[in-house]
Amino acid sequence: MTIRHHATDETLMRYAAGQLPAGPARVLAVHLAGCPCCRSRLGEFEAVGGALLEAMPPAPMAPDAFAAALRAIDAQPQPLATAPLARARTKPDAPVTLPGGAPLPAALRDCEIGPWRWIGLGVRASTVRLPEDRQARLTLLRVGPGRKLPEHGHVGTEFTQVISGSFSDGYGRYGPGDLSEMDQEIEHQPIVDPEGECICLAALEGSMRLNGFFGRLVQPFVRL
Amino acid sequence: MKDDGVPDGAELARLIDKVATERDRQAYARLYSYFAPRLNAFLRKSGLPPNTSEEIAQEVMLSVWRKASYFDPTRAGAATWIFTIARNLRIDHLRRIRTAAAGEDEQGEVETAPSGETLLLTAEREARVREALKTLSDEQATVLRLSFFSEKAHSEIARELGLPLGTVKSRVRLALGRLRVLLEGQS
Ligand SMILES: [Zn+2]
Ligand SMILES: [Zn+2]
């Protein structure tokens, strides 16, 4: 899988800073899991965080804070001596494959995946709910081969990670593993490539401003 | 250690290692006195009220004790590792307030086996980032800090600074572009 479309610096920095909302952060997590290049760039922005931390003028803790820390340490069970194995986050009843056989990205396995709904124009959508933020809304979209979506703009930035299949718009061709970030100044018209259905994961920044294209499609089906 | 008694990156990494392997409380005390007040300030700057920032700084330092053996100097410098713990605990805290649901501890991918080479590359990256940050203009540094310490989208930052959105966006792009060029050593 050759990834051609990556996260912007701005998005990676906000993710590194812990400032990206939960929805877009998950879309990015799916991209990062498959993209060593963005993982390495993320490491650089985390190093920016480390540098900013070290440059902070110290704000003193309460005088007894260190003593309290030692007491807490003594009360703790013994720490693990070795690094942990990667924890499985799979819910036992979570579906492991998506329609068409593509695996559900590991970064979504602890999410609640809603039923697929037909929403017209050859598009089906499923709402993804996150355990860490019940207000956040992600959408899995399945768009039929060769489908042309109407040209549209966005109110907030739209993050779209391709899971299977591919689509093209004026900005390029997006295949599995690619991330498209469309900000509010940009208009585009995605066309799914004729070889097959395209499944992608989409989030709009600003959960209450669903007037982007996906928002207009999805809005009637999402309880806000 | 540098002359002024402030521990450098290598010293901090050695202290974490002593905590991990020997449960050395003196090493821990030095880490605590260096990082806790900085974490407190950092968390306050990112919008937490003073009591909360101190509570979370304390939680971060307890995680440093508990997770010291997970620190991998081939992946991140000491301050960067501690920053990511603070970031995750801050996110967890905000989510606990927003929803009753418990937060997830986002641990990164398991990477390839560590080697001396990756250790060098990591140390070099930390140094490059610090050098790059020093060369940003005041305006660029301001937008970088705003993006780091505020969850506001750029449109909100623009309103707050009384600048057109396009200006904020282009300053962010300039700062990040400059950082990228410096990080990649192309300048
Ligand atoms: Zn990437
Ligand atoms: Zn769009």
| Chain CA centroid to CA B173, Å | 21
Is pLDDT above 50 for B103?
no
Neighbours of A157 (CB within 10 A): 21
Is pLDDT above 50 for A80?
yes
CA angle, A95 then A96 then A99, to 5°: 80
Q: How far is B140 from chain A (nearest CA, A)?
A: 13
Whether residue A52 lies within 8 A of chain B, CB to CB, comes out as yes
CATH number at residue B61: 1.10.1740.10
CATH number at residue A109: 2.60.120.10
Quick one: average pLDDT of A36-64? 94
pLDDT at B11: 94
Is residue A159 one of the residues assigned to a domain? Answer: yes
Q: How far is A147 from chain B (nearest CA, A)?
A: 32
Q: Quick check: A17 and B81 CB within 8 A?
A: no
Is residue B177 one of the residues assigned to a domain? Answer: no
Q: How far is A38 from chain B (nearest CA, A)?
A: 12
Mean pLDDT across chain A = 82
Quick one: average pLDDT of B76-92? 95
Cβ-based contacts of B154 with chain A (< 8 Å)? 10
Cross-chain CB nearest to B61 (options A69, A89, A157): A69
- Could you tell me which of B149, B147, B146 has the C-alpha nearest to residue B43? B149
Is pLDDT above 60 for A16?
yes
Is residue B125 one of the residues assigned to a domain? Answer: no
| Count of domains for chain A | 1
Is pLDDT above 80 for A95?
no
H/E element, A7: none
User: Pick the residue with more confidence: A57 or B138?
Assistant: A57
Round to whole Å and give the CA distance between A174 and A184: 19
pLDDT at B13: 95
Instruction: Please report which residue ranges of chain A form alpha helices under DSSP H.
Output: 9-16, 22-34, 36-55, 65-75, 213-218
pLDDT at A220: 41
Round to whole Å and give the CA distance between A199 and A126: 11
Quick one: average pLDDT of A52-59? 94
Whether residue A48 lies within 8 A of chain B, CB to CB, comes out as yes
Round to whole Å and give the CA distance between A205 and A136: 10
Cβ-based contacts of A158 with chain B (< 8 Å)? none
Mean pLDDT across chain B = 83
Is residue B37 one of the residues assigned to a domain? Answer: yes
Which candidate in A35, A76, A132 is best for mutational testing of the B interface (most B CBs within 10 A)?
A: A132
Is residue B134 one of the residues assigned to a domain? Answer: no
Is pLDDT above 90 for B30?
yes
Whether residue A112 lies within 8 A of chain B, CB to CB, comes out as no
Is residue B70 one of the residues assigned to a domain? Answer: yes
Q: Amino acid letter at A89?
A: R
Is pLDDT above 50 for A17?
yes
Round to whole Å and give the CA distance between A25 and A14: 9
- Could you tell me which of A147, A127, A150, A126 has the C-alpha nearest to residue A137? A127
Whether residue A91 lies within 8 A of chain B, CB to CB, comes out as no
| Count of domains for chain B | 1
Do A184 and B169 touch, CB atoms closer than 8 A? no
Is residue B116 one of the residues assigned to a domain? Answer: no
Cross-chain CB nearest to B69 (options A57, A72, A83): A83
Cβ-based contacts of A205 with chain B (< 8 Å)? 153
Cross-chain CB nearest to A49 (options B36, B83, B180): B83
Whether residue B77 lies within 8 A of chain A, CB to CB, comes out as yes
- Percent of chain A past pLDDT 70, that is, above it, reads 78
User: Pick the residue with more confidence: B91 or A136?
Assistant: B91
H/E element, A141: strand A133-143
Cβ-based contacts of A136 with chain B (< 8 Å)? none
User: Pick the residue with more confidence: B127 or A168?
Assistant: A168
DSSP string, A40-78: HHHHHHHHHHHHHHHHSPP-PPPTTHHHHHHHHHHHSPP
Whether residue B177 lies within 8 A of chain A, CB to CB, comes out as yes
Max CA pair span of chain A: 67
| Dihedral sign of CA atoms A162, A165, A168, A171 in order | positive
pLDDT at A208: 37
Q: Residue A122's domain spans which residues?
A: 1-84+98-224
Each residue's pLDDT tens digit, B3-23:
456 888 899 999 999 999 999
Q: How far is B145 from chain A (nearest CA, A)?
A: 9
Cβ-based contacts of A79 with chain B (< 8 Å)? 65-69
What's the pTM value of the predicted model, to 2 decimals? 0.81
Q: Residue B64's domain spans which residues?
A: 1-110
Which tokens go with A31?
């991209």
Quick one: average pLDDT of B121-135? 81
pLDDT at B69: 96
Each residue's pLDDT tens digit, B46-78:
989 999 999 999 999 999 999 999 999 998 999
User: Pick the residue with more confidence: A170 or A199?
Assistant: A199
Cross-chain CB nearest to A59 (options B41, B86, B107): B41
Q: Quick check: A46 and B79 CB within 8 A?
A: no
| Dihedral sign of CA atoms B96, A44, B66, A68 in order | negative
Is pLDDT above 60 for B38?
yes
Whether residue B123 lies within 8 A of chain A, CB to CB, comes out as no
Cβ-based contacts of A81 with chain B (< 8 Å)? 69
Is pLDDT above 50 for A30?
yes
Is pLDDT above 80 for B32?
yes
Q: How far is A83 from chain B (nearest CA, A)?
A: 5
Q: How far is B157 from chain A (nearest CA, A)?
A: 13
pLDDT at A201: 94
As beta bridge partners, residue B132 has none
Q: Which residues contact B48 (CB under 8 A, 6 or more apart)?
A: B56, B90, B93
Is pLDDT above 90 for B44?
yes
Q: Is the ipTM of this complex over 0.85?
A: no
